[in-house]
Amino acid sequence: MSHKLQITRTGEVEHWTLNDPATRNALTDEVVAALAQACARAAQDTALRFVVLQGSGGFFCAGGSLGSFAQAIGQALPTGQTDPLMATNAGFGHLLGSLCALPQILLVAADGPAMGGGLGLLCCGDFVLATPAAVFATPEVTLGVVPAQIAPFVHRRLGDRLARQMMLSGEKISAPQALDQGLVDELTDDLPAAVASRISALRRAAPGAVAHTKALICMINQAPAHDLPAQAAIKFAANLRSPEAAEGLAAFAQKRKPGWAA
């Protein structure tokens, strides 16, 4: 298990802590792989009833890391080649699906920013708790990038109107706004106490019934006509190789407006 994902267990409860404050707990390939491994293990653990996903260092998650994509930004794919970006990007989509499908109740505890892919993680929670310091955004389009894999999960959480407004504007949402919009279920100044209280109340739910109910919800949410991770990966890869993404990400790094916003 990666040291950037710390897992601690007390009885029937596990805390999964994103632990890379230097990157604001960014979703590197290593972190995504560690989360996928944790999901696969938890899916077989009938003694585990609750998973708490949280971040360290005053951040929840800053979103995806473009480190492994750096050489592809703004570069056209050679003719006849299968784009390697697609498999990596689709892998994150499958992770989000695995988080939603956990047979345990998944609580997300956000103390600090949840951005881009980090917001995608948050939208997988059955219950989302946050502190007033939390802030939320899907800034991808302002960088010339597509919020490819998180889009279905943000849409499920917020509904069509609010999901469109959030993903098409890239604007930040404060913790009180997130509570009003249903992105967050509870605001608290004492996150550990609130999580413990919520778990105590949820113990009334039988674990077997919870697992079957979550499986049913996943069946309802599936889109059988499309492989969403694959379709989203196609759009992500094509967009990341475009001049627009190169300009957007360069503008972000240089702390200036991109050409289309000047």
Cβ pair 106, 42 in contact under 8 A: no
pLDDT band at 237 (very low <50, low <70, confident <90, very high): confident
pLDDT higher than 80, residue 222: no
pLDDT higher than 60, residue 225: no
pLDDT band at 1 (very low <50, low <70, confident <90, very high): low
- The pLDDT score that the predictor gives to residue 234 is 82
Cα separation, 250 vs 145, in Å, equals 12
pLDDT digits (tens, 9 = 90+) for 97-136: 999 999 999 999 999 999 999 999 999 999 999 999 999 9
Task: Return the biggest CA–CA distance within the chain.
Answer: 57
pLDDT digits (tens, 9 = 90+) for 178-218: 999 999 999 999 999 999 999 999 999 999 999 999 999 98
- The pLDDT score that the predictor gives to residue 233 is 85
Q: Which of 170, 63, 100 has its CA nearest to residue 108?
A: 100
> What are the start-end ranges of the E strands in the chain?
5-10, 13-18, 50-55, 105-110, 114-115, 127-130, 135-137, 173-174, 186-187
Cβ pair 54, 111 in contact under 8 A: yes
Range picked from 82-86, 145-149, 238-242 for highest mean pLDDT: 145-149
- The pLDDT score that the predictor gives to residue 132 is 97
3-state secondary structure of 53: strand
- The pLDDT score that the predictor gives to residue 173 is 97
- The pLDDT score that the predictor gives to residue 41 is 98
- The pLDDT score that the predictor gives to residue 224 is 53
pLDDT digits (tens, 9 = 90+) for 12-60: 999 999 999 999 999 999 999 999 999 999 999 999 999 999 999 999 9
Cα separation, 204 vs 210, in Å, equals 10
**Residue 97 vs residues 1, 16, 39: alpha-carbon distances, Å:** 20, 17, 10
- The pLDDT score that the predictor gives to residue 69 is 73
Helix and strand element counts for the chain (H, E): 10, 9
User: How big is the CA angle at 167 (ends 89 and 94), to the nearest 5 degrees?
Assistant: 25
> Rounded to 5 degrees, what are φ and ψ at 25?
60, 45
- The pLDDT score that the predictor gives to residue 68 is 67
Tokens of 159: 């509904």
Q: 122-126: list long-range contacts, CB under 8 Å, 24+ apart.
A: 122/60, 122/61, 122/183, 123/96, 123/150, 123/153, 123/154, 123/156, 123/157, 123/158, 123/183, 124/96, 124/99, 124/100, 124/153, 125/53, 126/214
- The pLDDT score that the predictor gives to residue 187 is 98
- The pLDDT score that the predictor gives to residue 223 is 58
- The more confidently predicted of residues 85 and 59 is 59
pLDDT digits (tens, 9 = 90+) for 142-188: 999 999 999 999 999 999 999 999 999 999 999 999 999 999 999 99
Tokens of 8: 């601690």
Cβ pair 148, 93 in contact under 8 A: yes
> Rounded to 5 degrees, what are φ and ψ at 59?
-130, 150
